[in-house]
């Protein structure tokens, strides 16, 4: 009986999650093709796409989204690969690794705000040098953030994605026989970085491909970071879609929906291009391996990677410091390096109001993550025990919510929930969060789960343990670290959700992030500082647990401590 239920679990999970995904997709597609009247009359056909093409910013916005996505992803991956290739195993790398958790916990928007105040013409870097070195009494009129080329946006995305990809690479390294492959390549005379790139990276990449594609899709669909750092004339496509969806003129929502369809196609194209480029790089790599290139990138290349990694770390840490400073500052005029006046006023003002939403955020995050974890574990355990009828391909469907801008995707989900009578409330919001949390939990968990030594399971069974006992007593405890990491990532994702909380909750479920985003729309940096730090603290807690607990729990078990 148990086997019967579990065998069908992946199908059930898929169906349960696919329904809202399809509803969301339908909610995007139907208005775009004029099949559903959003407001006023609807005419089936492609008329809305003609309107979309008529927008002067259409092609520039398309190109911008494409470029930002591909460049940010490639740059992040390059930095991560370079970093690990050059540094893995050294002491400073260990330090960097421990800094990862806090880096991952900082909300995207907070990183973006911090970055703005670092590099803007009135930012800290300029203040540090003004007026004594630059002679500037006033901020120079330089277009640094919101540049038309989108480079500030790319920088912001790289800063945020490098820690994520690094976490994924490190997790993958634990599962592949990396150290022996390294040793082998080095004994054949290959310099460390070269050995890593040619011998280890191909093994690792197979495991991180999905995370990389998620990063690519995210970079193309992100709205909050693009609003803060990205250009606005025109903006990236996702931002423009959001503007249309938010316009008082309700008929523009159909334009927004059409834009979302184009966005989906664009992400699809970018993924296709990326997969094509993968082949090219693989061919190039094989040619290198064939030719026997053994030399490393040399000191200049190493310094570049080192510099890049330090810049990433520095941006997040300094950005957080600046947010902390803002949260206690009064007036802070240019070119003063420190606030003119300081005080705890902002904290006293906001913290009492925040406590309530803090608990709610916490409860939703825990509930959504636990459900997502149970679904992911059920799926993976079923996959391990039975030949899978659906296979890994089914998982792709569940990543769809990450590929469409939320503003275009959620109206469909909202309508489905309203029709089903699931109205507002913490429960509905939690259900909606699961849609976005599950893909990340699955992402973090699946590789270590699948890489678990199956002989341990056979041994357990041969000792008379049932499959359930093998799962609960052997597999799950041994996967404590990845399970906690998946939970931490899942909770951070849940804590960071804005639109699902607002739209599905009907505004009645206030979370730390709905409050923070509402305040951020006012641009009061001092309030933003307080709320961003609170958000970071909330997301940081599970990361700290994920990093520290396995070490403490298994402090007397050397075999449970990996590299």
Partner 1 sequence: MLKHLAGLALAAGLFVAPLQAETPQPNPADWPAVLAEARGQTVYWNAWGGSTTTNEFIAWIGQRAAEDYGVTLTHVKLSNTADAVARVLAEQQAGLTSGGAVDLIWINGPNFAAMKEAGLLFGPFAEDLPNWQLVDVAGKPVQADFTVPTDGMESPWATAQVVFMYDSADMAPLADMRALLEWARANPGRFTYPQPPDFLGTTFLKQVLYEVVDDPSVLLAPVDQADYAAVTAPLWAYIEALTPHLWRQGRAYPETGTRQIQLLADDEVALAISFSPGEASAAIANGQLPASVRTFVPSGGSIGNASFVAIPFNASAKAGAMVVANLLLSPQAQARALDPAYLGYGTVLDMARLSPEDRALFDQIDLGIATLAPDQLGAALPEPHPSWMVQIETDWIARFGGGK
Partner 2 sequence: MAQNAQPAPLVLNGLEVALQGRVLLRQSLQVQPGQIVSVMGPSGAGKSTLLAAIVGALGPEFRLRGQVMLGGKDVSALPTEARGIGMLFQDPLLFPHLSVAQNLAFGLARQVRGAARHRAIEAALADIGLAGFGPRDPATLSGGQKARVALMRTLLAAPRALLLDEPFSALDADLRGQMRDVVFGRARQAHLPVVMVTHDPQDAAAAGGPVVHLGAPSAAAP
DSSP 8-state code for residue 509: S
**Structure tokens, 185:** 């390549």
- Distance CA(326)–CA(124), nearest Å, equals 12
* Nearest approach, Cβ of residue 480 and partner 1 (Å): 17
The interface partner of residue 421, options being partner 1, partner 2, none and the CB cut-off 5 to 8 Å by kind, is partner 1
**Structure tokens, 485:** 């990491």
Using alpha carbons only, give the angle 94, 100, 105 rounded to the nearest 5 degrees.
Answer: 160
The interface partner of residue 84, options being partner 2, partner 1, none and the CB cut-off 5 to 8 Å by kind, is none
DSSP 134-166: T--SS------TT-TT-HHHHHHHHHHHHHHHH
* Nearest approach, Cβ of residue 428 and partner 2 (Å): 38
Q: CB nearer to partner 1: give 60 or 297.
A: 60
Q: How far is CA 323 from CA 329, 339, 524, 535, in A?
A: 10, 12, 11, 12
Q: 506 and 468 in contact (C-beta within 8 Å)?
A: no
Secondary structure of residue 182 in the 3-state scheme? helix
Helices (H) and strands (E) in the chain, counts: 25, 0
Per CB under 8 A, which of residues 309..348 are in contact with partner 1? 329-334, 341
Among 43, 90, 134, 423, binds partner 1 (CB under 8 A): 423
Among 138, 206, 286, 555, binds partner 1 (CB under 8 A): 138
Q: How far is CA 162 from CA 83, 166, 417, 538, in A?
A: 10, 6, 36, 21
* Nearest approach, Cβ of residue 469 and partner 2 (Å): 8
Per CB under 8 A, which of residues 372..391 are in contact with partner 1? 374-375, 377-378, 381
Per CB under 8 A, which of residues 99..128 are in contact with partner 1? 120-122
Binding site residues, partner 2, CB under 8 A: 386-387, 453, 455-456, 458-467, 473-474, 477-478, 480, 554, 556-560
Q: Per rule CB under 8 A, is residue 422 in the interface with partner 1?
A: yes
The interface partner of residue 556, options being partner 1, partner 2, none and the CB cut-off 5 to 8 Å by kind, is partner 2
- Neighbour-count burial of 541, counting CB atoms closer than 10 A to its CB (0-12 exposed, 13-18 middle, 19+ buried): middle
The interface partner of residue 280, options being partner 2, partner 1, none and the CB cut-off 5 to 8 Å by kind, is none
Beta carbons within 8 Å of 500's beta carbon, 6+ residues apart: 406, 410, 413, 429, 432, 433, 435, 436
Q: Per rule CB under 8 A, is residue 433 in the interface with partner 1?
A: no
- Distance CA(546)–CA(482), nearest Å, equals 8
**Pattern 523-562, partner 1, x by CB under 8 A:** xxxxx-----------------------------------
The interface partner of residue 521, options being partner 2, partner 1, none and the CB cut-off 5 to 8 Å by kind, is partner 1
Q: CB nearer to partner 2: give 348 or 458.
A: 458
* Nearest approach, Cβ of residue 476 and partner 2 (Å): 10
The interface partner of residue 129, options being partner 2, partner 1, none and the CB cut-off 5 to 8 Å by kind, is none
């Amino acid at each position: 009986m148990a086997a019967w239920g579990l065998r069908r679990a992946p199908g059930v999970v898929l169906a349960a999650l696919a329904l809202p995904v399809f509803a969301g997709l339908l909610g995007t597609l139907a208005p775009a093709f004029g099949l559903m009247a959003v407001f006023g009359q609807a005419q089936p056909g492609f008329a809305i796409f003609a309107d979309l093409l008529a927008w002067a910013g259409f092609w520039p916005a398309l190109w911008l989204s494409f470029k930002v996505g591909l460049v940010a992803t490639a740059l992040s991956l390059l930095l991560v690969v370079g970093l690990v290739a050059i540094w893995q195993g050294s002491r400073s790398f260990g330090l960097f690794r421990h800094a990862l958790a806090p880096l991952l916990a900082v909300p995207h928007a907070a990183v973006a705000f911090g970055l703005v105040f670092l590099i803007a013409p009135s930012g800290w870097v300029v203040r540090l040098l003004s007026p004594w070195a630059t002679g500037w009494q006033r901020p120079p009129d330089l277009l640094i953030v919101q540049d038309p080329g989108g480079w500030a946006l790319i920088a912001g995305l790289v800063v945020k994605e490098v820690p994520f990809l690094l976490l994924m690479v490190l997790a993958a390294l634990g599962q592949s026989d990396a150290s022996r492959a390294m040793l082998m390549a080095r004994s054949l005379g290959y310099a460390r970085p070269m050995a890593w790139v040619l011998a280890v990276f191909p093994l690792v990449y197979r495991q991180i491909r999905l995370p990389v594609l998620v990063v690519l899709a995210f970079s193309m669909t992100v709205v909050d970071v693009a609003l803060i750092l990205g250009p606005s004339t025109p903006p990236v496509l996702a931002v423009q879609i959001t503007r249309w969806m938010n316009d008082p003129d309700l008929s523009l929502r159909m334009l927004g929906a059409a834009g979302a369809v184009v966005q989906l196609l664009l992400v699809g194209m970018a993924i296709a291009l990326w997969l094509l480029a993968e082949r090219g790089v693989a061919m190039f790599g094989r040619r290198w391996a064939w030719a026997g290139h053994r030399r490393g990138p040399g000191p200049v290349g190493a310094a570049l990677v080192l510099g890049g990694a330090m810049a990433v770390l520095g941006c997040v840490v300094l950005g957080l410091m600046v947010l902390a400073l803002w949260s206690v500052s009064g007036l802070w005029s240019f070119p003063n390096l420190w606030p003119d006046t300081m005080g705890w006023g902002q904290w006293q003002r906001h913290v009492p109001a925040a406590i309530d939403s803090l608990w709610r955020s916490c409860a939703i995050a825990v509930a959504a993550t636990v459900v997502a974890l149970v679904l992911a574990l059920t799926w993976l355990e079923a996959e391990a025990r039975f030949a899978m009828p659906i296979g890994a391909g089914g998982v792709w469907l569940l990543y769809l919510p990450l590929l469409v801008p939320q503003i275009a995707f959620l109206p469909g989900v909202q309508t489905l929930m309203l029709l089903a009578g699931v109205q507002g409330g913490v429960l509905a919001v939690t259900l909606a969060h699961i849609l976005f949390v599950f893909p990340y939990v699955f992402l973090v968990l699946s590789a270590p789960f699948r890489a678990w030594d199956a002989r341990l399971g056979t041994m357990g069974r041969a000792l008379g343990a049932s499959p359930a006992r093998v799962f609960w007593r052997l597999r799950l405890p041994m996967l404590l670290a990845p399970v906690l990491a998946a939970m931490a990532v899942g909770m951070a994702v849940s804590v960071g959700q804005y639109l699902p909380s607002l739209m599905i909750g009907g505004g009645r479920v206030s979370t730390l992030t709905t409050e923070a985003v509402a305040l951020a729309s006012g641009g009061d940096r001092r309030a933003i500082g307080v709320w961003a730090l609170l958000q970071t603290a909330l997301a940081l807690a599970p990361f700290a647990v994920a990093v520290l607990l396995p070490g403490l729990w298994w402090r007397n078990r050397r075999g449970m401590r990996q590299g």
